[in-house]
Amino acid sequence: MARKKIALIGAGNIGGSLAFLCCVSELADVVLFDVVESMPQGKALDLSHTLPVFNSSVRVTGTNDYKDIAGADVCIITAGLARKPGMSRDDLLKTNSKIMQSVAQGIKENAPDSFVIVVSNPLDAMVTLCQRETGFAPNKVVGMAGVLDSARYRAFLSEETGVSPELIHALVLGGHGDDMVPVRSATTINGIGIEEFVSKERLLEIETRVRGAGGEVVGLLKTGSAFCSPAASAIQMAEAYIKDEKKLLPAAALLSGEYGYEGLYIGVPCVLGAGGVEKIVEIELSDDEKAALDISAGKVKALLEQLP
Ligand code: TXD
């Protein structure tokens, strides 16, 4: 079976990390695209020198020409500015919207059958704009945030309990912002409710840290935002599509009535497979969790009003 092709639109910190993960995992051939002259070509050349070390048979190339993304099965968009200390994700909206409009055009013209995973912030607005501008079916345009936010929740719970994160299942839903919703009622260790392991007070502290984890990394890095964990999260989504894994993952999907929302992209549990977003799963939420989701959805709706 011919290897698949992933186009990485944006070859910066996350784009370069995505390419590296594709090389190591041999998930697919990779084309790195960026507007910065020769930079994607330089990253691709460096990555090609890792292939013999990993005995990896993928092909990795870099380009400044959208024509080279032709035939991509998956496009992962990280094009756009990243936060600096003191900036909110929403502060990126104006600049990244203009970038997203050009990126969507490039994908529409050159990879019309691809599954698009949007990473750029502000995530919920950018994935909305991408789907609008490409005109792709909603199931073929998804946003990556919930996998990362849930991984952060799982990592903090693993630190707290000393249990391997592999056994910790957690969901963070809603918008990818300060109002994101860690769903405690769906968070378990080996199927046992998390409140059997961690006190309510401590869980509140951890869930607050999850909401601020992106900003915590930005504050420490000072020059940009997280890139390893977003890349790992987006690759998990791309893999679910390429291998038709039917994985249940939190992702920003376009709702048409689910959870009471119509025509809104926010993070919800999705089954990802060869059909893209194959199913949106409605889970039981506590009254507090549903109220928090409504607040988060309201913040996303307000942000969308600023879109061009
Ligand atoms: O969970 C999530 N979704 C977030 C997403 C997690 C962390 C970071 N998040 C956002 O991803 C972040 O706020 C940014 O909006 C994107 C990309 O973050 P990254 O750290 O990779 O930013 P870089 O290193 O600045 O890379 C962005 C690249 C850079 O090389 C630019 O030259 C390129 O985007 N760029 C473009 N590429 C293609 N087309 C256009 N027009 C363009 N403009 C800039």
The answer to whether the beta carbons of residues 121 and 130 sit under 8 Å apart is no
- Is 237's C-beta closer than 6 angstroms to any atom of ligand 1? no
Helix (H, G, I), strand (E, B) or coil at 306: coil
- Is 250's C-beta closer than 6 angstroms to any atom of ligand 1? no
Mark whether 63 and 175 lie in a shared domain.
Answer: no
Mark whether 151 and 133 lie in a shared domain.
Answer: no
Helix (H, G, I), strand (E, B) or coil at 119: coil
Number of domains in the chain: 2
**Distance, CA 81 to ligand 1 centroid (Å)?**
5
Here the CATH number for the domain that contains residue 60 is: 3.40.50.720
The answer to whether the beta carbons of residues 303 and 122 sit under 8 Å apart is yes
Of 121, 144, 210, the residue with max ligand 1 atoms within 8 A of its CB, to mutate for a pocket test, comes to 121
Full domain range(s) for residue 269: 146-304
- Is 175's C-beta closer than 6 angstroms to any atom of ligand 1? no
The answer to whether the beta carbons of residues 296 and 179 sit under 8 Å apart is yes
Active site residue 176: yes
Q: What is the pLDDT of residues 61-97, one digit of tens each?
A: 999 999 999 999 999 999 998 888 888 888 899 999 9
Mark whether 276 and 166 lie in a shared domain.
Answer: yes
* Low-confidence spans in the chain with pLDDT less than 70: none
Mark whether 69 and 188 lie in a shared domain.
Answer: no
Mark whether 155 and 286 lie in a shared domain.
Answer: yes
Which of these three, 107, 126, 143, is where a domain ends? Answer: 143
Q: Using N-to-C axis directions, what is the helix angle for 13-25 and 39-48, rounded to 10°?
A: 30
Sign (positive/negative) of CA torsion 27, 7, 246, 112?
Answer: negative
What the block records as the tokens of 71 is 């035939």
Mark whether 129 and 215 lie in a shared domain.
Answer: no
Q: What is the pLDDT of residues 170-215, one digit of tens each?
A: 999 999 999 999 999 999 999 999 999 999 999 999 999 999 999 9
- Minimum CA distance residue for ligand 1 atom 1: 145
Mark whether 28 and 122 lie in a shared domain.
Answer: yes
The answer to whether the beta carbons of residues 156 and 150 sit under 8 Å apart is no
Mark whether 175 and 63 lie in a shared domain.
Answer: no
- Minimum CA distance residue for ligand 1 atom 41: 99
Secondary element (H or E) of residue 266: strand 262-273
- Point out the catalytic residue in the list 83, 176, 184, 247: 176
Using omega within 30 degrees of 0 as the cis cutoff, is the peptide bond preceding 269 cis? no
- Is 299's C-beta closer than 6 angstroms to any atom of ligand 1? no
- Is 82's C-beta closer than 6 angstroms to any atom of ligand 1? yes
Please state, in angstroms and rounded to a whole number, the distance separating the CA atoms of residues 195 and 193: 5
Mark whether 231 and 155 lie in a shared domain.
Answer: yes
Which of these three, 84, 110, 143, is where a domain ends? Answer: 143
Mark whether 153 and 136 lie in a shared domain.
Answer: no
Which of these three, 84, 111, 143, is where a domain ends? Answer: 143
Mark whether 9 and 122 lie in a shared domain.
Answer: yes
Beta strand 188-189 with 192-193: parallel, antiparallel or unpaired?
antiparallel
Mark whether 65 and 105 lie in a shared domain.
Answer: yes
- Is 180's C-beta closer than 6 angstroms to any atom of ligand 1? no
Dihedral class, residue 135 (left if φ above 0, else alpha if ψ from -120 to 50, else beta): left
Here the CATH number for the domain that contains residue 276 is: 3.90.110.10
